[in-house]
Amino acid sequence: MITGVVKKTHIDAMTFITGNKPIQELIKEKAVLLHEKLLRIPGDKYWKTYENKPRNLKTQNGFIQKVTEIKTELEIKSKPQPLHQRRNPVDVEQVECYLHLQQNIIEK
């Protein structure tokens, strides 16, 4: 009997070889990204002024509470900056547009 050895599974080896992250890590990453996107929605005041109230759910935390917990755990300090407004290319540069369905042909 071998003692003092870390028990490994085939899944651990597979994730090491492929370089994939565990599902729990991907879920945390996507939740933080979604929260950051929600904070940056232009013209939306709901997420920017949201008060983080304690929830008394028996099974799990709410979305905001869990994201706040993840951010403090990973020491992420972010100050949301507004997203750049998309601009219409026609407003930036002159574009010539032709709507002729026929083209003049010059014979030589």
Q: Is the pLDDT of residue 82 over 70?
A: no
Instruction: Tell me the three state secondary structure of residue 52.
Output: coil
Q: How confident is the model at residue 97 (pLDDT cuts 50, 70, 90)?
A: low
Look up the pTM and report it: 0.55
pLDDT tens for each residue of 40-51: 877 777 877 777
Segments in 7-88 forming alpha helices (H): 10-18, 23-39, 63-73
Mean pLDDT over 63-83 rounds to: 80
Report the pLDDT value the prediction gives residue 77, as an integer from 0 to 100. 80
Percent of the chain residues past pLDDT 90, beyond the cut: 1
